[in-house]
Structures are given as C-alpha cells and as structure tokens.
C-alpha cells in the first residue's frame, strides 16, 4: 500500500517539476509582441483578404495612426494634468471643467479620424468582406441587449 502511494506521489512530483521546467523555458524565450493589423492571421482569414488588400489596408492604418498619435499624446497630457489636479489639496473647478472639455474634444478628434478612416477603407473590401466588417463593428461597438461587455467588472 505504501509503495503505491509513494509511486503516485513520485509521479505527481515529477509532473509538477516538469511543469516548472517547461514554464521556465517558455518564459526565458521571452514573449512575442502582440500582433495587430490586417496582416494578422485572425483578420486575414476571417475576411479572406488578398495580399494587395492587406498591403493597402496596412498603409491606410499606418496613415490613420500617424494622424491620431499627436492627439493621443495630447490626451495623455490632459489626463496627467487631471491626475495632478485630483492630488491637490483643493480642487480648482474652473481648471477641472477646462480639462474635461479638452479631453472630450481630443476624444472627439480621435473618433472622427477613425470614422473617416473606416469610410475610406470600406471601398477596399468586396461585398462579403464589407458585410463581415460591419458585422464586427456592430458586435464590438453596439452590443446586443443583455450582452455584458465587461462581466468581470460587474458587482456580484
């Protein structure tokens, strides 16, 4: 009886040790950067994109990101100012209002650039791809009734 228990414990210990070694090996290789963009396998396969479409879409995405990068930096600066304002002994409500309006304007600029980008790239898709594109936008931006976008954040 003791021998069987020892064998089971030995096998469990061996499995645990192998798991630790494999985990160490995988982490020592480093992590792959997160792939994004139209060349990514998921998007390429879902939309059945041709190499020419991928090249054109990536070019347009890079142009759009170049346009919104300064806006994002400005938005980050506004948020840092907002954080500094929150840390102050007494809140300056006039400055708070000004920062919040600036943040809203920057967000609006980003949204407008993205919408104009979507309008521009839709001509690159064929009819089937365009339907899938709009379906993905609808699923992610306009969730259906009862859809929980962040269920892990809801109170239990």
Q: What is the DSSP secondary-structure string of 103-135?
A: HHHHHHHHHHHHHHHHHHHGGGS-HHHHHHHHH
How far is residue 138's CA from residue 129's CA, in Å, rounded to a whole number?
Answer: 14
What percent of the chain shows pLDDT beyond 70? 79
Domain extents in the chain: 38-123
Q: Are 85 and 92 in contact (CB under 8 A)?
A: yes
Least confident of 6-10, 89-93, 100-104, 113-117: 6-10
Q: Which residue has the tokens 């290789």?
A: 29
Q: Are 74 and 108 in contact (CB under 8 A)?
A: no
Least confident of 6-15, 26-35, 68-77: 26-35
CATH class of the domain whose range is 38-123:
mainly alpha
To the nearest whole number, what is the mean pLDDT of the chain? 82
What pLDDT score was predicted for residue 120?
92
How far is residue 109's CA from residue 64's CA, in Å, rounded to a whole number?
Answer: 12
């Amino acid at each position: 009886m003791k021998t069987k228990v020892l064998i089971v414990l030995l096998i469990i210990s061996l499995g645990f040790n192998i798991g630790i070694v494999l985990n160490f090996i995988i982490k020592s290789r480093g992590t792959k950067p997160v792939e994004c963009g139209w060349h990514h396998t998921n998007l390429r396969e879902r939309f059945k994109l041709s190499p020419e479409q991928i090249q054109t879409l990536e070019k347009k995405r890079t142009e759009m990101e170049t346009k919104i990068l300064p806006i994002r930096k400005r938005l980050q600066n506004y948020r840092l100012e907002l954080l500094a304002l929150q840390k102050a002994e007494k809140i300056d409500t006039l400055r708070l209002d000004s920062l919040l309006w600036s943040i809203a304007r920057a967000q609006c600029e980003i949204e407008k650039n993205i919408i104009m980008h979507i309008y521009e790239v839709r001509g690159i898709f064929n009819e089937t791809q365009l339907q899938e594109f709009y379906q993905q936008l609808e699923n992610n931006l306009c969730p259906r009734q009862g859809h929980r976008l962040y269920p892990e954040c809801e109170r239990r």
